[in-house]
Structure 1
Amino acid sequence: MMQRILKMMACLAPAMLVVGCASNKPVPFDYTAFKAAKPRSILVLPPLNNSPEVNASRSVYAQVTYPLAEAGYYVMPVALVDETFKQNGLTVATDIHALAPAKLNEIFGADAAMYIDINKYGATYTVLDSVVVVSVQAKLVDLKTGTVLWTGTASASNNEGNNNSGGGLIGALVAAAVKQVINSTTDQSHPVAGVASMRLLSAGSANGMLYGPRSPQYSIQH
């Protein structure tokens, strides 16, 4: 009986391994709606800040337009967008995100809008380390139809590639103390937010944004 069970386990093990490996592969994003809409201009809305850091929204907002412009889209100027919302009595990101897509299209004339959520922003302190993490997610919505064209997530930290080699426990404690001082006295989150924004919105990555019409890669992907 035991031999029979062991044989069955031996037969099932390769299948379980294959299933486990397959499940780790990201599911390819369906770009059908994105390619059909062919957006040329993008309105980036002020990000929703779900972190306790009050500067998170402005920090991310100042950096998300660059990768979109590099990808080949015309991006509505942030200063113009911000002033237009203020003139219409809209200063809170939650209220702006609640506006109907058709209304945004009427006001700005953009083809699509990028909605961004900030889930993590800032330093996390532990006994042996201090790590700055920025985590963001986004969705691109067709302003004519309200259809979601694309969604994505990305994160970055200032501890990437740090193997904490050498120094032992005392070295780790000293390094953590130094990092805590640096992270608390300087804005270490801002450059990390830039990395996260590039990872989120740069075109050409797996399941990432498609290239826009001003990019040489545009005709290739279509």
Structure 2
Amino acid sequence: MKMLKLCLVFLLVALATGCATTGQSNRLDAFHNAAPRSILVVPPVNMSTDVQGTTSLLATLPYYLGEKGYYVFPVNTVKTLLEYEGYYEPAEIHAAPPEQLANLFKADAILYVTIHEWTSRYMLLSTTTEVDFEYRIVNADGAELWNDRERLTYTPDNNSSGNPLVDLISMAVTAAAERAAPNYLPLTRQANAAAFYGVNGVPPGPYSPTYEQYYKRINASQ
């Protein structure tokens, strides 16, 4: 059931992307010209106070880029090799020359992600979980190819029972449960899907079945 829902999300987003291709083609000219085949995903910079944000987001990114048709270097191997080279902190990695990072792995492009928000705001009767991610893909020489930013929030629904006292208790329990175990991963997956498959999404990679058709359409429109 989860896979079916995910496929439906991808289909709807892909249809929206197809409708918006003409309007977004100029924005993606640099990406089309570079036509990267492999993408190096480096550890995200976490501006929030939750230390789990970096690991959780990093673990979800390769799936979406792989589905788009790109070779993605294994994130655990990347982390180990970067540490061997003296890069232990994400901020240091993001500040390093892109050509140096790309050369370590012979990568065509690099994905940088910054976590601006990874929080769960608790009120007495409600809890709102929020994620805010900024994405950038740059070429091996540092030229920016694509960028996007996604902000998503989640507040648990509380269906009315018709009894005000019961509803208040239910709201308090639901809010406390969300505070104890925030709904980060579903929000993170939704943000990634919106970023890579949305209106401003990443073009299909060379291992995607739609790659040739996509670039034929782009070339025909130029």
Matched position secondary structure for 2:129: strand
Inter-partner Cα distance in structure 2 for 1:82 and 1:141: 19
- Say whether the 8 Å CA contact 1:129–1:175 is kept in structure 2: no
Between the aligned residues of both structures, percent identity stands at 31
Whole-Å separation in 1 of the counterparts to 2:94 and 2:49: 19
Q: 2: CA distance between counterparts of 1:68 and 1:93?
A: 20
Aligned partner of 2:47 in structure 1 is 50
Of 183, 195, 208, the match for 1:215: 208
CA contact under 8 A between 2:126 and 2:155: conserved in structure 1?
A: no
Amino acid at match of 1:76: F
**d(CA) in 2 for partners of 1:216, 1:62:** 25
Any runs of at least 4 consecutive aligned residues in structure 1 with deviations exceeding 2 A, and if so which?
155-160, 164-176, 183-188
- Segment of structure 1 superposing worse, 167-176 or 117-126: 167-176
Q: What SS does the aligned partner of 2:27 have?
A: coil
Q: Distance in 1 between matches of 2:110 and 2:166?
A: 48
- Matches for 1:28-107 after TM superposition, within 5 Å: 28=24, 30-107=27-104
Amino acid at match of 1:73: Y
The structure with more helix, counted as a fraction of residues: 2
Residues 37 and 205 in structure 2, CA contact (< 8 A), matched pair in contact too: yes
Residue 131 of structure 2: SS of its match in structure 1?
strand
Structure 1 residue aligned with 2:12: none
Q: CA deviation at 1:165?
A: 4.9
Q: Give CA-to-partner distance per residue, 1:156-196, whole Å, 9 cap, x none.
A: 33338x4x552576455334322332223335323322222
Number of paired residues? Answer: 192
**Residue in structure 2 matched with residue 131 of structure 1 by the alignment:** 128
In the alignment, what sits opposite 2:16?
none
User: What secondary structure, in the 3-state scheme, does the structure 2 residue paired with 1:122 have?
Assistant: strand
Q: Is the 8 A contact 1:47 1:117 kept in 2?
A: yes
RMSD between superposed Cα atoms in Å: 2.2
2:169 is aligned to 174
Higher-Rg member (1/2): 1
- The amino acid of 1:134's aligned partner reads V
SS of residue paired to 2:81: helix
TM-score under structure 2 length normalisation:
0.79
The letter for the 2-side match of 1:154 is: E
Cα distance in 1 for residues equivalent to 2:90 and 2:170:
38
Residues 176, 118 of structure 1: alpha-carbon distance in 2 compared, 3 angstrom cutoff: farther
CA contact (8 A) 1:122 1:133 kept: yes
8 A Cα contact 2:125 2:175, kept in partner: no
Is the contact between residue 112 and residue 135 of structure 2 (CA under 8 Å) also seen in structure 1?
A: yes
Amino acid at match of 1:188: N
Instruction: Name the structure 1 match of 2:107.
Output: 110
Structure 2 CA distance for partners of 1:167 and 1:120, relative to 1, 3 Å: farther
In the alignment, which residue of structure 2 is the partner of 1:188?
Answer: 183
Aligned to 1:122: 119
Change (3 A) 1:132 1:171: farther
Unaligned runs of 5+ in 2: 1-19, 216-222
On the 8 A contact 1:136/1:155 being kept in 2, the answer is yes
TM-score if structure 1 supplies the norm length?
A: 0.79
